[in-house]
A and B are shown apart, each in its own frame.
Chain A
């Protein structure tokens, strides 16, 4: 029995390795196609540069603090916004999930606020916070709050009442039960909300920076760089910022998987 389970583990490791290899091959093929298309030269090279040109430029950009500092600035604003909305939305979602009347009273309001596009509020944010990072942060907060809030409520609604009753029967107080039982079982849903928020927060942060003006963050950098007529820096920045977004998402998924191994959606194969 022990040998077979070790065998399964090895087989799974091999499948994971194959997956990685195939993913890399896929990206390589895409780069090769890009390279060939761009080399044919039916579009001006400064509009559609080859993959090697862009990758070379991207590596060079990494060494320029003028660029990397802007990336860090955008990341900082985005993460700050995410943290603020998590701190606000999770407790709010837990409360709305626990108290049906509060949920019923607020659900229409939430449904009406949620689809308001963050960018529509840019001018208001500019008026309130000026052309600063605070504007970016506030719009990231607006965007991220809704998915986190809704998933928190949903997570609380799917807490097994039996688990809560069990906790109460062991003498846990109402709030202790909420903290020790309900919150952990809602946590995977909350994490899903945060992951959705991450997906759109970076786009909103960059977009806000592009509107609020040149100089600040990746968005500002893009506006300035693209005014020169050559698109090569824009491509290079897209490659690097994409990498940052990819790593951010990857990291979060890894943490999620590690923390919530017990949760159903992660043990589909085991069932």
Chain B
């Protein structure tokens, strides 16, 4: 797993600062954040709600501009434009899918303006729909599907794009527990199968440890890096067995200690932050 560090960097974030202005003056949401993601890695970012995780994702995706610092994707600095080869799966699946397009059209939409042949586009959408188990629903509309299935469509859309970096912003925060476990395993499979580099944001400590090769823990107000730790668990992982392993339990406890009983950090404590058992 340490081999990942020797692979090329897909994303590198250096001394990133993001501040926004209110009537009371500047408020820093992200403070001096630095980290890197290497090719093929699955990195989770975990932190309490309101810790600027979504802001970070939007900056990496090119939707927001950083106040200071540099963000490089495949060595190229972001220049205020949307970077090539980055896909983003939003938490809000019901709004990020286009309700006037069928499932297949949704998946093909990002592809159809690239110079891909029609056959190639169809092939790619079929491949990614089958990866998420939705080939049979290609002609349906998103609103005919359950929440978990809608999020799978969003994942299929991202996969068909064949991103060099797949960003996922709390993708499973609004589905029920069973669906969530299914989707976690789906994403883990997809990561293994396609070798996609994934940066995954969550406020759920269990999920971050269960899914990733490396976990970054952020503080709240402003977001600072509290911990950057390899996950010492082999793959494939299992929803029951993995979560019983000593390494899993220990790492989870360590992160929970950082987030729930912060030493000097002040954190907000809304109900959903007091996770691990909260799922």
Contacts and interface: CB of A to CB of B under 8 A. Distances in A.
Contacts of A3: 24
B22 interface: yes
A48 B203 CA distance: 66
Contacts of B27: 4
B232 to A, nearest CB: 38
A8 interface: yes
B23 interface: yes
Nearest to B92: A271
Nearest to A14: B23
11 contacts: A3-B24, A4-B22, A4-B27, A6-B23, A6-B24, A7-B22, A7-B23, A8-B22, A10-B23, A10-B24, A14-B23
Contacts, number: 17
Interface in A4-23: 4, 6-8, 10-11, 14
Interface of B: 22-24, 27, 268
Nearest to B95: A271
Given A4-B22, A6-B23, A6-B24, 8 more contacts: A1-B268, A4-B24, A7-B22, A7-B23, A7-B24, A8-B22, A11-B23, A14-B23
Contacts of A6: 23-24
A145 to B, nearest CB: 33
Contacts of B23: 6-7, 10-11, 14
Interface of A: 1, 3-4, 6-8, 10-11, 14
A2 to B, nearest CB: 11
Nearest to A12: B23
Contacts of A7: 22-24
Contacts of A1: 268
A8 B21 CA distance: 10
A37 to B, nearest CB: 41
Contacts of B22: 4, 7-8, 10-11
Contacts of A4: 22, 24, 27
Nearest to A9: B23
A6 B24 CA distance: 9
A16 B23 CA distance: 14
A264 to B, nearest CB: 14
B270 to A, nearest CB: 11
A27 to B, nearest CB: 28
A3 B221 CA distance: 14
Q: Which residue of A1, A6, A7, A14 has the most chain B CB atoms within 10 A of its CB atom?
A: A7
Nearest to A10: B23
A3 B23 CA distance: 10
A93 to B, nearest CB: 27
A103 B268 CA distance: 51
Contacts of A11: 22-23
A12 to B, nearest CB: 9
A20 B77 CA distance: 40
A218 B27 CA distance: 56
Nearest to B21: A11
Nearest to B25: A7
Nearest 5 CB-CB pairs, A to B? A10-B23, A7-B22, A7-B24, A7-B23, A11-B23
B18 to A, nearest CB: 16
B20 to A, nearest CB: 10
A4 B23 CA distance: 9
A197 to B, nearest CB: 30
B93 to A, nearest CB: 15
A35 B24 CA distance: 43
A114 B125 CA distance: 46
